[in-house]
Amino acid sequence: MSLTARERAVLAREQAADRREAALLATDEHRVQTEAQLREANEHLVVATVRANTDTDAAEHATAQMAIKAERDFLTGLPNRALLTDRLEQAIALAARHRKKAALMFLDLDRFKEINDSLGHLVGDGVLQSVAKRLQAGLRKSDTVSRQGGDEFLVLLTEVESVHDAALIAEKLIKAMAEPHFVGGNLLRVTLSIGISLYPENGKDVETVLANADTAMYHAKRSGPNNYRLFTPDMRAGPPVHEPD
C-alpha cells in the first residue's frame, strides 16, 4: 500500500525526531561519562596530593628527628659535646658583644665507678639520668647542661657578671646533688668535682675555655671530692693526671 505525500512527510518528521532524541541521549550519556571520568581523575589527584604531602611531612619529620638525635646524648637526652661546643661559641660571641662573661663548668661524679661495679650499669645509667635532671633544675633556661660522656657533664652559663656568679652556681649544684638519689630501689648519694673556666679571663676561644675547665676539674678532683676549683694560670704548670673514679 502506497503512502500519500502527507503520510510520507509525517513519517519523515517522526524519524528525524527519533534521530535527534537518540543524538541527545548519546550526548547526555557522553557528558555523564565524561563528568564521571573527571570526578574520578580529580579524586585520584587529591589522593595523590595527600599522599605526597604526607610523605613529605614524614620525610621532614624523620630528618628533624635525625638532626635532634645527632645533637643529643642517647641516655639523658641532654645536648651532646658537639651542640655544647656550638652554644659555647655563640655565648662567647654574645659576651664579647655585650662586654660580659661566659662561664663553663666541667663536672665529674666522684667515685661513680663504685656504683657501676657494685650495683651494675643499669643503676649507673639511672644515676646519670637523675643527675642530668637535677642539674637542669638548678639552672636558668638560657644555660646549657651537656653530657660529655661517661660520668662527665658540662654546664654553660651565658652572660654572667663575674666569677663570683659562677662560683655561686657551682655551690648551688653541689648542694642540690647532695640530696639522695633513689634509683632501682637504692638510696644513693652523689658528689661532684667541678672545674670552672671563664671567658675572657681564662680563654678567648672555645678550645681554650674547654681545656681550662677540664684542667680545673681535675685539680678539684685531686683536692678531694665534692668541691670546685676556678681555673688559674699556675694550673698549666703541672697538668693533672686523669685518674679513674
- Indicate left, alpha or beta for 111 from its phi (over 0: left) and psi (-120 to 50: alpha): left
pLDDT for res 25: 62
Contact between 108 and 148 under an 8 Å Cβ cutoff? The reply is no
* pLDDT, position 16: 66
| One-letter identity of residue 130 | S
- Predicted local confidence at residue 36, as pLDDT: 75
Instruction: Give catalytic residues, as residue numbers.
Output: 151
Model pLDDT, residue 63: 47
SS (H, E, C) the chain: CCCCHHHHHHHHHHHHHHHHHHHHHHHHHHHHHHHHHHHHHHHHHHHHHHHHHHHHHHHHHHHHHHHHHHCECCCCCCECHHHHHHHHHHHHHHHHHHCCEEEEEEEEECCHHHHHHHHCHHHHHHHHHHHHHHHHHCCCCCCEEEEEECCEEEEEEEEECCHHHHHHHHHHHHHHHCCCEEECCEEECCCEEEEEEEECCCCCCHHHHHHHHHHHHHHHHHHCCCEEEECCHHHHCCCCCCCCC
Per-residue pLDDT of the chain (245 residues; tens, 9 = 90+): 556 777 676 666 766 666 776 666 666 666 767 677 777 777 777 777 777 666 555 545 444 444 455 789 999 999 999 999 999 999 999 999 999 999 999 999 999 999 999 999 999 999 999 999 999 998 998 999 999 989 999 999 998 999 999 999 999 999 999 899 999 999 999 999 999 999 999 999 999 999 999 999 999 999 888 999 999 999 986 555 555 55
Q: Phi/psi of residue 225, each to 5°? A: -70, 160
pTM above 0.75, yes or no: no
